[in-house]
Chains A and B, each alone.
Chain A
């Protein structure tokens, strides 16, 4: 079993829908990252969080440390949100462990 599991692996939705991507992990962590990877492009950091909730524009990330679970929400989704979203955790010792990614497609 992977230390970091994301669900769903693929998600297709219509423009305007509310999107939720989930990340569960099995190890103790100091922080969790949400990353975005556009087709043919590099990887950029969206959020880093260790507790509670963070919001940036239409993106919201939450984390529940006790349940070892994080969610990434996108409100009023748009085709430009289509990308692979990656969850990564810091289990300490200068290390990042990545989930397998969630491929999101938003249709107009």
Chain B
């Protein structure tokens, strides 16, 4: 997916460890978001940002922190990993426009396992 770079692709953590998932976009989009994808469920919104310096909680924010110091970067931090955070994580960069012209781009995903 051109424009959204998400790292790492795979990660194994021990319970209690912390880590940061990186996400960067070069399309100058204001809206960036983090989702988790679990079997049998749709993508669920963790946190989102509508611009530099502005972040807000999504549907499942507990255990995660975000910051948006620049338009380009939107890292997701796991403060103290738990097995329930085992999931596939996606970063998205979205340009919501009028006249049904929204552009949404996704990172390659991070498969996280917490043991």
Which residues from 78 to 106 on chain A have a C-beta closer than 8 Å to any C-beta of chain B? 86, 88, 90, 94, 96-101
Given contacts A30-B100, A31-B102, A48-B100, contact A96 B109 (CB under 8 A): no
Contact count band on A: 20 to 34
With a cutoff of 8 Å between Cβ atoms, the chain B residues found around residue A30 in the complex are: 100
Which of B40, B50, B104, B105 is A96 in contact with, Cβ under 8 Å? Answer: B104
A-B contact pairs, 22 of them (CB 8 A): A4-B42, A9-B40, A30-B100, A31-B102, A33-B104, A41-B108, A42-B90, A42-B109, A48-B102, A50-B100, A86-B42, A86-B43, A88-B43, A90-B96, A94-B31, A96-B104, A97-B42, A98-B35, A98-B44, A99-B42, A100-B40, A100-B41
Contact count band on B: 20 to 34
